[in-house]
């Protein structure tokens, strides 16, 4: 059966400095990895692990190199029951690699070798694969990594909408002004934003997309002009949900945990939120569930976790 929830875009492995404050230029410093990664990949892995009780199927469309880094991503996806039949191996490129390094002040530095990560092309977006589509997730990073990846995302949205007009399109605009100029961010996000049901911005991303320098006002404006729901991600402070069907926003506190590695928290959060939403839960429960998934992620070293639905419920019940 073709998957009900699909995501697409860059597949990467992450290689991480074990210790903080050791710049990449320091010769002989120790790295750990590979860790399967890439924002849309972290999303789909979170969806797959959280969807088990609901028997929802998942699939991913992307590109890896013909190497063992690529194999490590496929292994993780297979382990979590994600369909990998649409992951293409690019013969003459290595799998994408991000070298990641943290500092005590919370800042991080990447060295990024794109390799095969941006090689997805619209030819790979096959209509048949979307025959059971319920939800499609797009990441801003997949719109910016290459033109062909961006066109693939736009095509996937059009196909998904034509096959199922009720399809849930979710969008995490994980684009930062230091990566791309504001005008380009707005331009490439627009075709997705217009078709988005649920938007998952951080405060800065909401301000950029709305063109307003006030997070709350920006989220309210976004709900007025486009997405039905805007879920503002607020790190350790949890999230706030703005909905066109509710007069007041809903603030949901985060869980108190020791942060080891924040990479992937936002993407994991998005995946959990979509599962709660499709399950038909109240916003309070969905937000708490997604906060719990994000909190368990930051306790874990590496962008993807192995946390189960039961472990998430346990955290929710314990506090
Ligand atoms: P990124 O794109 O770097 O993953 P983001 O801005 O998309 O980040 P965050 O707000 O950093 O997303 O994190 C997503 C969610 O994970 C938060 O809304 C919260 O529920 C949870 N979370 C993140 N950091 C922490 C933390 N230190 N303690 C508890 N929960 C956290
Ligand atoms: Mg994010």
Give the CB-side neighbour count of residue 60, counting CA atoms within 13 A: 31
Distance 167 CA to ligand 2 centre (A): 22
d(CA 200, CA 178) in angstroms, rounded, equals 19
Residues 40, 137 contacting (CB under 8 angstroms): yes
Closest to 189 in 3D by CA, of 225, 242, 241, 153: 153
Q: Mean of the pLDDT values across residues 254-275?
A: 97
Q: What pTM was estimated for this model as a whole?
A: 0.97
Closest ligand 1 atom to Cα of 237: 19
Separation of alpha carbons 207 and 214, rounded Å = 6
CATH number for the domain that contains residue 150: 3.40.1190.20
| Ligand 1 touching residue 203 (CB < 6 A) | no
Spacing, Cα 266 to ligand 1 middle (Å)? 5
| pLDDT per residue as tens digits for the range 159-208 | 999 999 999 999 999 988 777 899 999 999 999 999 999 999 999 999 99
Is the pLDDT at 247 greater than 90? The verdict is no
Q: For the chain, what is the domain count?
A: 1
Q: Which domain holds residue 141?
A: 5-318
- Of 266, 270, 300, 307, the residue with max ligand 1 atoms within 8 A of its CB, to mutate for a pocket test, comes to 266
**Residue-wise pLDDT tens digits, 14-57:** 999 999 999 999 999 999 999 999 999 999 999 999 999 999 99
- Picking from 16, 9, 154, 12, the residue whose alpha carbon sits closest to that of residue 93 is 12
The packing angle between helices 39-50 and 309-318, to 10°, is 80
Query: Is 288 near ligand 1, meaning CB less than 6 Å away?
Result: no
Rounded CA-CA distance 233/174 in Å is 11
Q: What is the mean pLDDT of the chain?
A: 96
Atom of ligand 1 nearest to the CA of 290: 20
44 CB less than 6 Å from ligand 1?
Answer: no
């Amino acid at each position: 059966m073709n998957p009900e929830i699909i995501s697409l875009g860059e597949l990467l492995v992450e290689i991480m400095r074990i210790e903080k404050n050791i710049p990449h230029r320091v010769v002989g410093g120790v790295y750990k990895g590979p860790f399967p990664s890439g924002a849309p990949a972290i999303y789909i892995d979170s969806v797959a692990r959280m969807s088990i009780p609901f028997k929802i199927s998942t699939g991913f469309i992307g590109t890896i190199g013909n190497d063992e880094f690529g194999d490590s991503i496929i292994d993780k996806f297979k382990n979590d029951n994600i369909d990998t039949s649409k992951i293409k191996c690019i013969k003459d490129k290595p799998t994408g690699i991000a070298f990641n390094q943290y500092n005590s002040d919370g800042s991080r530095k990447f060295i990024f070798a794109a390799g095969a990560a941006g090689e997805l092309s619209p030819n790979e977006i096959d209509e048949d694969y979307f025959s059971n589509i319920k939800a499609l997730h797009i990441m801003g990073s997949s719109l910016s990594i290459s033109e062909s990846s961006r066109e693939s995302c736009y095509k996937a949205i059009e196909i998904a909408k034509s096959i199922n007009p009720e399809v849930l399109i979710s969008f995490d605009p994980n684009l930062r002004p230091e990566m791309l100029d504001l005008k380009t961010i707005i331009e490439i996000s627009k075709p997705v934003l217009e078709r988005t049901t649920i938007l998952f911005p951080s405060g800065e991303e909401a301000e950029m997309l709305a063109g307003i320098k006030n997070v709350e006002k920006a989220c309210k404006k976004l709900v007025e002009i486009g997405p039905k729901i805007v879920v503002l991600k607020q790190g350790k402070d949890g999230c706030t949900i703005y909905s066109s069907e509710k007069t007041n926003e809903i603030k949901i506190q985060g869980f108190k945990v020791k942060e080891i590695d924040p990479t992937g928290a936002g993407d994991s959060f998005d995946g959990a939120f979509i599962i709660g939403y499709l399950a038909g839960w109240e916003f309070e429960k969905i937000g708490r569930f997604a906060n719990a998934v994000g909190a368990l992620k930051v306790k874990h070293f590496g962008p993807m976790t192995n946390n189960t639905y039961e472990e998430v419920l346990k955290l929710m019940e314990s506090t």
